[in-house]
Structure 1
Amino acid sequence: MTAITDAAIRRPRFVLWLAGLLSVFWIVLVAVPSVFDVPTLNGLRIDTDPENMLAEDEPVRAFHNEMMAEFGLYDFIVVGVVEETHPNGVFNAQTLGDVLELARFAETIRWGNESAPEGVIASEILAPNRVDVVEQAGLGAVRFDWLMAEAPANDAEAIAVRDRALSIPTLSDTLVSGDGRAMALYIPIREKNDSYRVASRLREHIEAASSPAEFHITGLPIAQDQFGVEMFKQMAISAPAAMVLILVLMWLFFRNLSLVLAPMVVAMVSVVGAMGLLIATGQTVHIMSSMIPIFVMPIAVLDAVHILSDFYDRYPHIKNRRKTLNVVMSELWRPMLFTTLTTCAGFLSLALTPIPPVQVFGLFVAFGVFLAWLFTVTLIPAYIMCMPERAFAKFGNAGPQTNEKTVGSTSFLDRMLQPLGRFVVRRSWRVAVIFILAIGVAIVGLSRIEINDNPVKWFAEDHDIRVADRALNARFGGTYMAYLTLAPSSELTAAAAREDVLERLAALPGPEAAAFAAQLPSARSEASSFTGFLDTLAALADRRAAEPGANWLAWDDIALVIAQTRSTADVFKRPEMLTYLEGLQAHLTDLDQVGNTIALPDIVKTIHRELFESDPQAYRVPDTQRAIAQTLLSFQNSHRPQDLFRLVTPDYRRANVWVQLTSGDNQDMTAVLRAVDHYLEDNPPPLAVDHEWFGLTYINVIWQEKMVTGMAYALLGGFAAVLILMTALFRSFAWGVLSMIPLTVTIALIYGVIGLVGKDYDMPIAVLSSLSLGLAVDYAIHFAVRSRQIYDDVGDWTETARLAFGEPARAIVRNVIVIGAGFLPLLLSPLVPYQIVGVFISAILVSAGLASLLGLPALITLFQARLFKHTASNPDTGGPA
């Protein structure tokens, strides 16, 4: 492997030009895809939709799309209007006038061609000028009118709008807050990716409003789409800021600005290569893949810091760049290669997850890590060889040299590390006990980890979307929608129709009914479906009734029997089923997580009340199917008859309950799922039904569960792969297991602390386990390999430990400081996933460094007789122990 570095040292300018040309090539693939007549070379595509965390053929996702189409539902943006200064809240003439103007403006937000316009679906907007109120029009009659066709002329008219809205269950706590002081508009969009553009236009219009009211915009689609916009801003701001800080820290260590630019070049080329290939191959830039640069950069810098650290310590004694590089690379090529392989294994293990964007993320981070290694072992030496000799006149750590392989130092780091090394060797049992206690604490913390995620919480607390989320969910039934569908457990068959008709005919008097029953056709031969069989019977009865001398009264009774059997298919016209739905709604609204529900009984009860001249006692489910049918027929005379079929299918065999949650947290949605399961189990419906969920809030739960399970498999698979690689590196199972201990302690401790502090286990936290796997083993490999090399020279572990806490330990500490502190600028990002990455990269680096510097030498001290039973014959290979 040193031949690659030797070639770079001999032809440094060629290597630099080649790296530059590769970078330009990748940029061209991204920026000018039209130059290449290849279908896979697509332009940049961004997708922040968590629905796409599931595969397209995932059953839950397929059912979601099927039901959204079945019920004619769309994702929507929520605009909330809150007025705190006026005694009537938003229900004053001025504010409602602005609300009406905003609603009418929203209807105009469209772009694209006329045949397939994008943007807002005007006909489906829920706003005061687009929703009906139902009122009595005399006994047995109702009329429908727009809630607010025109702006109110005075505050009295505004209050009348409020009172009318609160009298309609489907509007109360949905369009109008329960306290009657706020209003919400629900603006449906054709595509979730349209939400940011729609929201931007709404904000522009709101700025011109004269009302002092506060306008809030929120909802899952806007949160997801706005995250996609802002994540690119953070890639352009936070990542460069992190790189600048890393550059400054490296300059403080090595005091040579030209030299420390080399790792920055490696990181940049590696990131450009990984992202360029991602985009050029037609992959979508998703929430996960947007973080590829953040993950590749620290890994790209790690090995470069090891090289610079070793070069910094050795150059003053060797005084020749080429010879120094040969010595440095002969020692470091093996640990660098295996840290690269183990890190790649950690990220490639993400292919075991059932989440396509995570699989893509793992694959391209692994590719970026490989590029970082390749450019580190070529570009760094080539860069150093191209620097003028005078740049190294006062360069390096000129501490005393004991031999070509081991260098001492009188630096601050050495004065700190040497006492630490002596303590670890002399108090190895104490260190081992500390590690055992740390594992115990980690186990307690791991048992407390709670899985939870919410795309709205990807933004900082003071972000407009978080502020809007809190404001609206405190006043309304909830801006997070989930949908519960219920349908009969078994399909009605022709045979069931035949049996039902025979039973009803047997109750009729007269010879006609008996004769018709005797001649009833076979269900198998005449029709295969319930309704098809009844159609056949109806036609047969009509022919018999038309025969000369037929008793038309008897045949009318037979026709009624067929109609009664047909009505049994209308499951959700039955009084008992609507009453059951009503009870289920009451149970749901009693839950802390649910603010409101909307279902078919709400429409039926409201219309029934108005048919009886607004009598409060009539606000109930009618006792007969005929009466229910009358209320539904009346509703279809409204301005929005299609709203009925948002709650039930036209054949009345599948009902849809809208469940409004005040939080989008997975834990809250999961609590609702369990509550419904228990209710259906404890309160069986009159007719056996199957229930299923759909909606974005529910889909978030499913992909998060798959993420957790997949990450567990990925972590176990990566752990096994790393153990195999470590065993191969050291040609010793004992050394392989030993080197896995810092990794194990680091991962356990990091995630244990997450559980102890109550941090939710969400998407960024889950994926950071792969970074933990790669970074934690990096230091263990470097320390173990260098210790074995030194031991081959000196033959004594105490002396080996003293020297290992020289240059090898200094390189590790420099890495911890440079990378750990370098990514703290991510804490300034308004996006929580970036903040989490910044914190945990630092935490992982510190934990992994401490675990390696404390744990490994202590364990080697305790088991040195077993570990150094056979010394290696070739120190450059790290050979068998």
Structure 2
Amino acid sequence: MNPILNRLFLWVIDSPKVVIFMVLLSVITIASGMAKLQISNDFRVYFSEDNPQLKAYEAFEDNYVKSDTATLVVTAKDGDIFTRDGLALIDALTRASWFIDYSYRVSSPTNYLYTQSLGDDIETNYLVEDVASLSDENILEIRRIALNEKRLVNSLITADGKVGIVVINISLPEDIADASAQITTQIEALRDSYREKYPGFEIDNGGSTTFNTTLSRAIAHDISVLLPISYLIIFSGLFLFLRSLFGAITIFILISTCLISTFGFFGWVSPVLTPIAGFAPSILLSIMVADSVHILVTYYHQLHEGQTKREAILKSLHINFMPVLITSITTIIGFLSLNFSESPPYRDLGNMVSLGVLIALIFSLVLLPALLMVFPVGKNLKQPQGSLIKSFANFVILRKKRLLILTSSITLLLIIFIPNNRLSDNWATYFDESFELIQLVKRLDGYLSGINGLEYSLKPAKNKSIYHPEYLTQLDEFEKWFLSQDKVMNVKSLSNLMQDLNQVMHGDEPSWYRIPDSAELAAQYLLFYEFGLPEGLGLNNLVTIHKDASRFSVSVSDAGSDELLAIDQKAQVWLKTNAPAIQVSEATGLGMVFAHIAQRNITSLLKGTLIALVGISAVLMVVLKSFKYGLISLIPNVIPAALAYGLWGMTFGYVDISLSIVACSTLGIVVDDTVHFLHKYIRARRGGLTTSDAIRDSFHRVGTALIITSTVLAAGFLILTISPMNTSATIGLLMAVTLIFALVVDFLLLPPLLLYLDRKSEMRMHSGDNKKEISL
């Protein structure tokens, strides 16, 4: 032990109250930063500023309208919305929606711009002007017109007229983190007030702002509900395994101060957190237990051997310092590898957990021994697990060949299923159906429109314009091709409007529902239409200000990111093959930006995992002073994640952007078991014990601690499975499975490997000492 460290440990043990006071004072100071923390609800925080798809998306929004929306969905409980009450309700909601903060455009069935021909003129008016003055005949005529408007059906109303939607376009301010929450609160107040006035209709709210708010509320739920449950389970588990109330209280105090310090620090340096940061408490809570348990178990072991409290604490620190340091470093390396993620929130999560692990390391070596000195020993005089661990060790040694074959076979079997995991992300699956938003989405997807969308800004080819009949005709053909694709619900394009205008200008004759014959005629129609629009409304939702490109919007039902990317690939091939008058363009839209980042995130995190693995192995080789054992450690460090993803491929068969972080996140934690086992094993071998006896010694010294830490860690992550957020639940489940596999591998695969790989060196050692090798 380094003399400086030895003096530090002695000072901590001899001045525990001073140490506790200094640590608590530091924690209180740092914790004041928590008051500055706030959660951003903007989807754009998931992307780097240099993300090419985000840049394309923002350029698209600059040319057309912003895609942030809040919606109010009106559903008739009986009949349809085309009644006096139904139209009055939608009209009232439409007018009130203009007063929602940051709204700049409101679209609904009642203010739909209906165009008709009056002689040689085009007149554009709202579909519903004055609800109170409408006769029954007027309402029937409005219904007829609405259900025959292709640009209205499956956009703002359902084909059966039962559902209507008010869409509020929002321009979210960049300097207000909780703007979505403010808007959602206003929408909900508006919704509730009209629910009372119109009991014959269901009124729900949705849109991107509602999704953002639901995400932050779900995270807040996890923190306020799951975190206390995690505390309770971890505390109960520690009390059960350690059989010491004061031991469990000590760790409870330790992890609480670590959590507070971590979030307090980020409150000072980076106060705006993303919803992903909500995973950090549960992850940290579990990880922080590991170091302290190893120190505590060794401390009780020394007490059982008759040492005084002071001697037991010092001995435990000496024995565990190196493995605790190594495991902390490797865990930090594992989580820092999340910085390879394409998504900034996951990088922030990695940095936050890494800082928490560093704080936990410091507090485990300083605060923990000070607390042990202050607290009474308690009643921990028995170690019932000792005989069981000894019997298990003998079982592993005697059946090493069978276990090696069995574990290797299971490993190969599960690894085969890894390719079954489809790389796909779908925001509609982020939550369970306990959320009203998801209930609404499930009800409307495929009925009103699709929940995902592809957006194109299509420029005409050279020597063409957006008015050219060839360009417009190919737009129409492109629309028909899309509508023939699976899961495509609706398409909006300039060709729709031009055909409508051409029909209107020819007395609404159905035979004239076609593309105008010349570019000049199309340009004139569009100009007349634009002049007839009410004040404040323009064509910026359909064409660019310079009229050099038009918007082409595709609504897709229940599609994952892989499906969106696939259909866009097909669309680009179709454009290149069949539409020479249109420049080929990639799709954009929020769903597409997420689709691209979900796919790239897998690749970038795989790279990060490999680099972290190399770094961890290098650390282990240096610290263990053995190239051989460093290489051996790769096997139990890599296999658990491979087994977990293989099992996932066999059962669920998908990996989304959140699940892609599990391999990186668990890598450093998995190393914890391996390091403690190998460290004790190498010490025993270098102390002169045979391979078999070294295995027994390792199980005796760390077996119980590994069971405790793995059980507590897995239980902590399994708590996430009851989260209403499916992303949290699946992350928790896959992490727990990985840690369970890690314990199995370290208990059933690593010892047989050591028994076989160390056989030759043991034979040489024994032959050099003229001793006969003991049969294993």
Q: TM-score, normalised by structure 1?
A: 0.81
Asked whether the 8 Å contact 1:74–1:189 carries over to 2, the reply is yes
Instruction: Compute the displacement of 1:61 (Å).
Output: 1.9
Equivalent residue, structure 1, for 2:709? 815
Instruction: Compute the displacement of 1:739 (Å).
Output: 1.7
Asked whether the 8 Å contact 2:640–2:739 carries over to 1, the reply is no
CA distance in 1 between partners of 2:124 and 2:185 (Å): 34
Asked whether the 8 Å contact 2:82–2:143 carries over to 1, the reply is yes
Instruction: Compute the displacement of 1:600 (Å).
Output: 0.6
Instruction: Compute the displacement of 1:772 (Å).
Output: 1.5
- Aligned ranges for residues 303-322 of structure 1 at < 5 Å? 303-322=291-310
2:571 pairs with 1:676? yes
- Aligned ranges for residues 542-691 of structure 1 at < 5 Å? 568=463, 571-640=465-534, 642-663=537-558, 665-686=560-581, 689-691=583-585
2:13 pairs with 1:12? no
Equivalent residue, structure 2, for 1:769? 663
CA distance in 2 between partners of 1:650 and 1:120 (Å): 21
Cα deviation code 1:208-236 (max 9, x no counterpart): 32233222322333212321233123223
User: Could you tell me which of 165, 173, 177 is aligned with 2:158?
Assistant: 177
User: Could you tell me which of 340, 344, 361 is aligned with 1:373?
Assistant: 361
Instruction: Compute the displacement of 1:752 (Å).
Output: 1.2
Task: For 1:26, give the aligned amino acid.
Answer: I
Asked whether the 8 Å contact 1:481–1:660 carries over to 2, the reply is yes
CA distance in 2 between partners of 1:191 and 1:867 (Å): 68
Instruction: Compute the displacement of 1:759 (Å).
Output: 4.3
Instruction: Compute the displacement of 1:869 (Å).
Output: 7.6
Cα deviation code 1:335-379 (max 9, x no counterpart): 111001111111122223343333222222211111111111111
CA distance in 1 between partners of 2:205 and 2:761 (Å): 63
Equivalent residue, structure 2, for 1:120? 103
Asked whether the 8 Å contact 1:593–1:668 carries over to 2, the reply is no
Equivalent residue, structure 2, for 1:211? 199
**What SS does the aligned partner of 1:636 have?**
helix
CA distance in 2 between partners of 1:274 and 1:684 (Å): 56
Equivalent residue, structure 1, for 2:88? 97
Asked whether the 8 Å contact 2:424–2:561 carries over to 1, the reply is yes
Cα deviation code 1:477-528 (max 9, x no counterpart): 22433311122566xxxxxxxxxxxxxxxxxxxxxxxxxxxxxxxxxxxxxx
2:124 pairs with 1:144? yes
Residues 856, 273 of structure 1: alpha-carbon distance in 2 compared, 3 angstrom cutoff: same
**What SS does the aligned partner of 1:471 have?**
helix
2:440 pairs with 1:468? yes
User: Could you tell me which of 165, 182, 186 is aligned with 2:167?
Assistant: 186
User: Could you tell me which of 734, 746, 766 is aligned with 1:840?
Assistant: 734
2:749 pairs with 1:862? no
CA distance in 2 between partners of 1:211 and 1:638 (Å): 37
2:381 pairs with 1:396? yes
Residues 832, 70 of structure 1: alpha-carbon distance in 2 compared, 3 angstrom cutoff: same
Equivalent residue, structure 2, for 1:72? 65
Instruction: Compute the displacement of 1:158 (Å).
Output: 4.0
Cα deviation code 1:571-602 (max 9, x no counterpart): 11100100001111111122223211111111
2:632 pairs with 1:738? yes
4+ aligned runs moved over 6 Å, structure 1: none
Q: TM-score, normalised by structure 2?
A: 0.92
**What SS does the aligned partner of 1:191 have?**
coil
User: Could you tell me which of 160, 169, 176 is aligned with 2:141?
Assistant: 160
Asked whether the 8 Å contact 1:742–1:852 carries over to 2, the reply is yes
Structure 1 residue runs without a partner (length 5+) = 32-42, 111-118, 398-408, 491-567, 872-881
User: Could you tell me which of 288, 312, 317 is aligned with 1:324?
Assistant: 312
2:255 pairs with 1:255? no
Please tell me the root mean square deviation across aligned C-alpha atoms, in Å.
2.3
**What SS does the aligned partner of 2:554 have?**
strand
Asked whether the 8 Å contact 1:80–1:472 carries over to 2, the reply is no
CA distance in 2 between partners of 1:665 and 1:173 (Å): 21
Asked whether the 8 Å contact 2:332–2:668 carries over to 1, the reply is yes
Task: For 1:163, give the aligned amino acid.
Answer: R
Equivalent residue, structure 2, for 1:520? none
Asked whether the 8 Å contact 2:31–2:265 carries over to 1, the reply is no
**What SS does the aligned partner of 2:423 have?**
coil
Instruction: Compute the displacement of 1:46 (Å).
Output: 2.0
Task: For 1:200, give the aligned amino acid.
Answer: T
Pairs aligned (count): 753
Instruction: Compute the displacement of 1:735 (Å).
Output: 0.6
Quote the sequence identity (%).
21
Task: For 1:76, give the aligned amino acid.
Answer: T
User: Could you tell me which of 371, 374, 383 is aligned with 1:386?
Assistant: 374
User: Could you tell me which of 220, 223, 227 is aligned with 2:211?
Assistant: 223
**What SS does the aligned partner of 1:572 have?**
coil
Instruction: Compute the displacement of 1:645 (Å).
Output: 3.1
2:322 pairs with 1:427? no
Asked whether the 8 Å contact 1:292–1:364 carries over to 2, the reply is yes
Residues 352, 837 of structure 1: alpha-carbon distance in 2 compared, 3 angstrom cutoff: closer
Equivalent residue, structure 2, for 1:512? none
User: Could you tell me which of 41, 45, 51 is aligned with 1:58?
Assistant: 51
2:75 pairs with 1:82? yes
Asked whether the 8 Å contact 1:141–1:610 carries over to 2, the reply is no
CA distance in 2 between partners of 1:180 and 1:867 (Å): 81
Equivalent residue, structure 1, for 2:224? 236
Instruction: Compute the displacement of 1:640 (Å).
Output: 4.8
Residues 217, 323 of structure 1: alpha-carbon distance in 2 compared, 3 angstrom cutoff: same
Asked whether the 8 Å contact 2:222–2:723 carries over to 1, the reply is yes
Task: For 1:789, give the aligned amino acid.
Answer: R
Instruction: Compute the displacement of 1:664 (Å).
Output: 5.8
Instruction: Compute the displacement of 1:789 (Å).
Output: 2.4
Instruction: Compute the displacement of 1:299 (Å).
Output: 1.3
CA distance in 2 between partners of 1:454 and 1:155 (Å): 44
CA distance in 2 between partners of 1:814 and 1:772 (Å): 17
Equivalent residue, structure 2, for 1:554? none
With 315-324 and 418-427 compared, the bigger mean Cα shift is at 418-427
Asked whether the 8 Å contact 1:429–1:858 carries over to 2, the reply is yes
Residues 640, 734 of structure 1: alpha-carbon distance in 2 compared, 3 angstrom cutoff: farther
Task: For 2:319, give the aligned amino acid.
Answer: E
CA distance in 2 between partners of 1:715 and 1:155 (Å): 68
Equivalent residue, structure 2, for 1:109? 100
- Aligned ranges for residues 38-49 of structure 1 at < 5 Å? 43-49=36-42
- Aligned ranges for residues 784-803 of structure 1 at < 5 Å? 784-793=678-687, 795-803=689-697
Task: For 2:469, give the aligned amino acid.
Answer: P
CA distance in 1 between partners of 2:460 and 2:122 (Å): 32
Task: For 1:7, give the aligned amino acid.
Answer: W
2:427 pairs with 1:455? yes
Instruction: Compute the displacement of 1:319 (Å).
Output: 4.2
Larger radius of gyration: 1
CA distance in 2 between partners of 1:16 and 1:24 (Å): 12
Cα deviation code 1:419-478 (max 9, x no counterpart): 432232222222222232233223322111111222332211332111111112131122
**What SS does the aligned partner of 1:148 have?**
coil
CA distance in 2 between partners of 1:188 and 1:151 (Å): 24
CA distance in 2 between partners of 1:196 and 1:699 (Å): 23
CA distance in 1 between partners of 2:657 and 2:57 (Å): 22
Task: For 1:262, give the aligned amino acid.
Answer: T
Instruction: Compute the displacement of 1:278 (Å).
Output: 1.8
Task: For 2:275, give the aligned amino acid.
Answer: I
